[in-house]
Amino acid sequence: MGHWGLTRTLAAAALLVAAPALAQQGPGWKMQGSLDAMAGQYFYNGGAGAVNGYFNGNLQLLRSLGTDSGFYLDATGNYTGFKQVNELAGGGTLFQQSMDYSLGAKWIKRFEGGYSFMPRLGVHSQLFRETTDETWGKGLYDFWRTEAGLTWERKTRLGIGVPWTYQFTLDLYYTHYPHFQSLASQFGTEQAAPDPGSRILDTVSTQLGYRSEFELPDFVSVYGFYSIDFISFNDQKVVDSQGQYLSALRSDSYQTLSVGASKRLNDLDVFGRVRPVVALSLIAADLFSNQNHFDADPSRLKFIGAYYDYWEARFDPSVNLTFLKTMTTARLGYEAALRFYTGRVTQNGDGSYTGDKLRQTSHSVFVEGTHPIWKGLCVKARGTWSAVSSNMDYQQTYVYNYHDYNYYAGLEWKF
Amino acid sequence: MEILMKRLLLAAVLAGALVARAAAAIMLIPNGAVQVRAGAGAWASATGPMEMTAGQEVRTEAGAAAEVKFPDGSRVLLSPLSQFKMESTDHKETILGLSLGKLRAAFSGFMSSRVSIRTPTAVCAVRGTVFELGADAKSTQVNMAEGVLEIQDQKGQRAVVTSEETVTIGEQGMETPHQVALTDSRALDAVRPMVVNRESARDATRRMLEDMRNRELKANEAQLGKDAIDAFGRRVRIEEYLLRPDNKSFELLFLSHRQDRFDWGHMVEIFNSKIPDDMSQVPAIIAGTFLSQTQPSHWLKSMEFYATNTVDAEREQISLGNPTRIDFSGYLNHVPGTDFRYYPISIDDVQTLYGPGVPGGARVQFDQHQDFGQTSGGLFTWTQSIVNNLGTLALLDQLQMDPSSVVDVDPANHGGAPTDTAACNLGGDNCMFNSGNAEFAGLATVSSSPSGPGKADYLVSTTYSDGSTLAVEKFLVSNDGKIYNSAATADTFTQNGSYNLEINIKSNLFQGRDIDVLIAPEILQQKKTETTTADSLQP
């Protein structure tokens, strides 16, 4: 990460501090955002991580130049001292601290007839400390990302009754891992190692998206979203069935389709009146890659084509409850996910391969509550439990069957 | 600008309503000539703030206005010449009425489960909204500012109206809602909190896909065994490559990198002839080198295991002679002359240390030779040589035995008592045990479990007679750096399991450095297979 990462980190912090003053001095500026200060802990297969902090700040500066144009700036900073349940639980590091910073700007230009054109630019960096010998800014998986996007929006109607907003989006992401190079490229010369490429995680992604949103009567909102990503790996070479590296570079495509709906139900006559909002989303996704895998373990020496290809489905119901007497909110959600790898085969406990394709299943439940205590200040708590299982019995290098949970609690201030 | 400011105020009211905890009463605040009545009663002037109850009606004269404040912070501003009714209100439903005139409303949507405003031609259900509503006996005009409103006309036609839309509902029903022009005074700022919140959420959804993809790249590195934590809490990156120096051999290269050091090693296997392109057949070829009932067409000629910290190194070279037909009935079916197998005619196993601190830069510490029929006809012969008190290789012991003899292969006779020459010498055997000689004084090997009982941390330390030492510590360590906790035996480390094998090699010849590689246990398992000698077979 080096100087670039630290520079961006400092820039994000400076913006968070300086923005309120800027907003006060500049006519026409508006400011909104939130600050979270919490503590939490992570549990994985019976083991517990230490209690640590969670801090998140988000600030947006809005500048409207009239009814047809304007822009806003967005800055986010985050420190997480404990792992989230969706972060590589099976991958080997119980200990993890991360910092996340992003800066972005978006221009909004509106045209008559409900059309809008919205270009954006942004930078994003993530820093990790995952082992005792990693220091901030030196994490193996630190990355920074430069991103740019274009959104073309139309707000119209579906018949008389239903407002319909749709968007076509184009987003470009360039992601660079400054500390991650293949070992062969760093140390391979003296051992006459093959050349798998050097910056094997660096990518350029081109994401095309389409989104539609509908407001239906009876407090129902519906959306649909489709995107396809074309991911070019700048320097990751394709491995063949002999374990040799070709000159061709890896390229993936990832597409996702999600549909969802939410509905506000009638208030419940309990606890001084409770307002429920139920929601459901369904997501289908697949990934295709030209990259394969050659297992160089001498007892196996197995070539697996289409190693990364998979498709998956997710099912996410949730309910949001607002206790109107106290304005306390509670949110309960569940997610079930299935992933089927089309090329990757499973292994027995001793590492030998079977003819079955890898399947992964996960279930997670989260509960979150907030309670206002003064103006925009509220106490907040969240807990998540997750269980992951698979038909993979070989878990020497990655744990495919595990359960974990975490919690955090603290204060949230919205302004 | 005035209109704009008023809308901003309304928006602020809407936001503030979320936390407002005003008194439970609904308050009417008149401004000018305002009258109030209950039911069909007579109109009475409202001269100051007063509480409103269900069934009451308010009207404003020309030039007058009024404000109705609700307990949840919602507000209704009545324009001049308007008539407004509080038809009913409770926690389930609040029904308001505008029979004439115009109002501007900011509703938080929390006062009842359902909030609606009725006009002579429409019913407007509020979701949480800032809007203007104008009505007379024949039509209703809705101008949405921010939010969502549901409208139903007299024919039952329903429509949802969102920000900056306007719609007229007449006696014949409603027209299609349409957006106000950007030049219209009712148009809002292009960039305002609700727009930014919505757009930020959409962008975040798309960016999340990219975040998830990067998280998955990281997970794949772990799934491929490229990323692990060692027994000392350090991140180790591992890469393994298969190289093909020629069509008779392959080399497995394994690289271990920590933040401040690099260790690597290789295992090279050379065969007698071209091995198939399908490398998955190689393990079967190796297995066929030993004890095959038919003469193998392919067999292993040599294997080399090498580990280094780039300065010091340890190498183990194993050379195998051609397969030859040997009567193994003493080991296998115990009926002499009936169970012939193909087995390498010789196996040489040489261990060498390298480094600037090693005398001469390189020294053989250990050499084991095994042959069948070469030293003595019809017998297996093992000779082990080891560094002596002068730092040179010297014969430590020699064993011989007949693999077709059930009595001769009995461990009690050749392995159970390594110094019992008489017991070893059966038939034509010629056994020698020199470990008691002065040149091997001080030679000692100690085994221990430094991390305590039950932990898979197994240390074997050898002190040679010349004072040199070699300590090999093996850990079974999980991907997150935890040492396997069970009854650890030496053999545990060559078994497959859900742990990585970390081998730490120390020697006082390495000048304080060590070699520390993290490898898949299968590598060691294969090395063990290839160093298997007939004496490790059990009758």
Q: Structural domain boundaries of chain B?
A: 26-70+74-195, 268-516
β-strand partners of A383: A367, A407
Query: Model's pTM, two decimal places?
Result: 0.78
Cross-chain Cβ contact B479/A397 below 8 Å: yes
How much helix, strand and coil, in percent to the nearest 5, is found in chain B? Answer: 15, 45, 40
Cross-chain Cβ contact B91/A269 below 8 Å: yes
- In whole angstroms, how large is the CA radius of gyration of chain A? 24
Both tokens assigned to B520: 């898949």
The ipTM is: 0.90
Question: Does any CB of chain B come closer than 8 Å to the CB of residue A65?
Answer: yes
Cross-chain Cβ contact A62/B196 below 8 Å: yes
Look over chain A and give the mean of its residue pLDDT values, rounded to a whole number: 87
Cross-chain Cβ contact B218/A88 below 8 Å: yes
Cross-chain Cβ contact A160/B257 below 8 Å: no
pLDDT at residue A347 tops 50: yes
Listed by number, the residues of chain A in 227-256 with a beta carbon closer than 8 Å to a beta carbon of chain B are 227, 229, 231, 241-244, 254, 256
Tell how far CA A159 is from the center of its chain: 36
Nearest to B206 among A161, A207, A218 (CB): A207
Cross-chain Cβ contact B259/A30 below 8 Å: no
Report d(CA B301, CA B269) in Å as an integer. 8
Amino acid B400 reads Q
- Minimal-distance CA residue of chain B relative to A371: B19
Which residue, A348, A363, A347, is CA-closest to A403?
A: A363
- In this prediction, residue A188 carries a pLDDT of 64
- In this prediction, residue B503 carries a pLDDT of 86
Both tokens assigned to B369: 């030779």
Q: For the segment A249-304, what is each residue's pLDDT rounded down to a tens digit?
A: 999 999 999 999 999 999 898 988 899 999 999 999 999 999 998 887 766 677 88
Cross-chain Cβ contact A217/B160 below 8 Å: yes
**Which architecture characterizes domain B26-70+74-195 according to CATH?**
Sandwich (2.60)
Mean pLDDT on A29-40: 93
Smallest CA–CA distance, residue B388 to chain A, in Å, is 33
Q: Which of the residues A67, A83, A111 would you substitute to probe the B interface, choosing the one with the greatest number of B C-beta atoms within 10 Å? A: A67
The residues near B221 (Cβ < 8 Å, ≥ 6 apart) are: A91, B227
Kind of pairing between the strands at A310-323 and A274-289: antiparallel
Report d(CA B404, CA A110) in Å as an integer. 94
Q: Are B139 and B147 within 8 A, CB to CB?
A: no
Smallest CA–CA distance, residue A403 to chain B, in Å, is 15
The residues near B211 (Cβ < 8 Å, ≥ 6 apart) are: none
Q: Are B72 and B110 within 8 A, CB to CB?
A: yes
- In this prediction, residue A394 carries a pLDDT of 79
* Angular region, B441: left φ>0, alpha ψ -120 to 50, beta rest: beta
Q: Are A329 and A320 within 8 A, CB to CB?
A: yes
Q: How far is CA A229 from CA A124, A255, B184, B241, B431, in A?
A: 19, 6, 40, 30, 72
β-strand partners of A46: none
Instruction: Measure CA of the first residue to CA of the last residue in chain B; give whole Å.
Output: 101
- Minimal-distance CA residue of chain A relative to B16: A375
- In this prediction, residue A184 carries a pLDDT of 83
Which residues does chain A have within 8 Å of residue B214's beta carbon, measured at their own beta carbons? 143, 175
- In this prediction, residue A274 carries a pLDDT of 92
Residues of chain A with pLDDT > 70, as a percent, come to: 87
| Half-sphere exposure of residue A8: CA atoms within 13 angstroms, side-chain side | 24
Which residue bears the tokens 């809705």? B142
Smallest CA–CA distance, residue A350 to chain B, in Å, is 5
Identify the CATH number of the domain in which residue A382 sits. Answer: 2.40.160
The residues near B440 (Cβ < 8 Å, ≥ 6 apart) are: B386, B388, B389, B394, B396, B434, B465
The residues near A10 (Cβ < 8 Å, ≥ 6 apart) are: none
Kind of pairing between the strands at A52-64 and A69-80: antiparallel
**3-class secondary structure, B486:** coil
Mean pLDDT on A59-86: 88
DSSP secondary structure letter of residue A369: E
Report d(CA A231, CA A225) in Å as an integer. 19
- In this prediction, residue B9 carries a pLDDT of 40
Q: Are B35 and B45 within 8 A, CB to CB?
A: yes
- Minimal-distance CA residue of chain A relative to B177: A160
Q: What number of C-beta contacts closer than 8 Å exist between A and B?
A: 296
Cross-chain Cβ contact B113/A118 below 8 Å: no
Which residues does chain B have within 8 Å of residue A215's beta carbon, measured at their own beta carbons? 148, 160, 162
Nearest to A74 among B110, B200, B255 (CB): B200
Q: Are B414 and B402 within 8 A, CB to CB?
A: no
Q: Which of the residues B91, B192, B206, B271 would you substitute to probe the A interface, choosing the one with the greatest number of A C-beta atoms within 10 Å? A: B206
Question: Does any CB of chain B come closer than 8 Å to the CB of residue A326?
Answer: no
- In this prediction, residue A396 carries a pLDDT of 66
Both tokens assigned to B473: 């510590």
Cross-chain Cβ contact B193/A62 below 8 Å: yes
Question: Does any CB of chain B come closer than 8 Å to the CB of residue A297?
Answer: yes
Listed by number, the residues of chain A in 368-407 with a beta carbon closer than 8 Å to a beta carbon of chain B are 372, 375-376, 394-399
- Dihedral (CA of B42, B46, B50, B51) sign: positive
| Half-sphere exposure of residue B289: CA atoms within 13 angstroms, side-chain side | 30
The residues near B105 (Cβ < 8 Å, ≥ 6 apart) are: B74, B75, B76, B77, B117, B126, B129, B130, B131, B132, B133
Report d(CA A128, CA A134) in Å as an integer. 8
Q: Which of the given ranges, A104-113, A124-133, A402-411, has the highest pLDDT on average?
A: A104-113
Number of domains in chain A: 1
- Dihedral (CA of B446, B449, B452, B453) sign: negative
Q: Are A390 and A378 within 8 A, CB to CB?
A: no
Cross-chain Cβ contact A298/B158 below 8 Å: no
Both tokens assigned to B166: 């306007």
Report d(CA A88, CA B483) in Å as an integer. 20
Cross-chain Cβ contact B18/A186 below 8 Å: no
Cross-chain Cβ contact B523/A297 below 8 Å: yes
Cross-chain Cβ contact A273/B497 below 8 Å: no
- Minimal-distance CA residue of chain B relative to A125: B211
Both tokens assigned to B273: 């002839």
Nearest to B242 among A69, A219, A301 (CB): A301
Beta strands in B296-419 (DSSP E): 300-308, 313-320, 323-327, 340-344, 346-354, 362-372, 380-387, 393-401
Q: Are A101 and A80 within 8 A, CB to CB?
A: no
**3-class secondary structure, A125:** strand
Report d(CA B523, CA B519) in Å as an integer. 7
Which residue bears the tokens 């140390």? A187
Q: Are B127 and B116 within 8 A, CB to CB?
A: no
Both tokens assigned to B118: 């009725």
Which residues does chain A have within 8 Å of residue B525's beta carbon, measured at their own beta carbons? 299
Which residue, B88, B127, B84, is CA-closest to B104?
A: B84
Question: Does any CB of chain B come closer than 8 Å to the CB of residue A314?
Answer: no
Which residue, B369, B389, B387, B370, is CA-closest to B379?
A: B370
Tell how far CA A341 is from the center of its chain: 21
Cross-chain Cβ contact A327/B19 below 8 Å: yes
Which residues does chain A have within 8 Å of residue B484's beta carbon, measured at their own beta carbons? none
DSSP secondary structure letter of residue A295: E
Smallest CA–CA distance, residue A284 to chain B, in Å, is 13
Q: For the segment A114-126, what is each residue's pLDDT rounded down to a tens digit?
A: 999 999 999 999 9
Smallest CA–CA distance, residue A332 to chain B, in Å, is 20
Please indicate whether residue B375 or residue A23 has the higher confidence score (pLDDT). B375
Which residues does chain A have within 8 Å of residue B197's beta carbon, measured at their own beta carbons? 32
- In this prediction, residue A256 carries a pLDDT of 97
How much helix, strand and coil, in percent to the nearest 5, is found in chain A? Answer: 10, 65, 30
- In this prediction, residue B534 carries a pLDDT of 42
Cross-chain Cβ contact B520/A396 below 8 Å: yes
| Residue ranges, chain B, pLDDT below 70 | 1-23, 225, 278-280, 411-420, 422-423, 426-427, 479-480, 486-499, 520-539
Nearest to A187 among B205, B255, B525 (CB): B255
- In this prediction, residue B221 carries a pLDDT of 76
Cross-chain Cβ contact A108/B206 below 8 Å: no
Smallest CA–CA distance, residue A172 to chain B, in Å, is 10
β-strand partners of B270: B249, B302
| Half-sphere exposure of residue A391: CA atoms within 13 angstroms, side-chain side | 14
Q: Which of the residues A240, A257, A396, A400 would you substitute to probe the B interface, choosing the one with the greatest number of B C-beta atoms within 10 Å? A: A396
Cross-chain Cβ contact B219/A376 below 8 Å: no
- In this prediction, residue B10 carries a pLDDT of 43
β-strand partners of B271: B300
Cross-chain Cβ contact B479/A376 below 8 Å: no
β-strand partners of B106: B75, B130
Beta strands in A18-96 (DSSP E): 29-44, 47-48, 52-64, 69-80
Question: Does any CB of chain B come closer than 8 Å to the CB of residue A296?
Answer: yes
Give the phi and the psi of residue B314 in degrees, each rounded to 5. Answer: -130, 130
Report d(CA B133, CA B403) in Å as an integer. 105
Question: Does any CB of chain B come closer than 8 Å to the CB of residue A169?
Answer: yes
Give exposure, A356-376, as e/b (b: 16+ Cβ within 10 Å). eebbbebebebebbbebeeee
Kind of pairing between the strands at B139-153 and B469-477: unpaired
Q: Which domain, by its residues, includes A82?
A: 2-414
Which residues does chain B have within 8 Å of residue A394's beta carbon, measured at their own beta carbons? 498
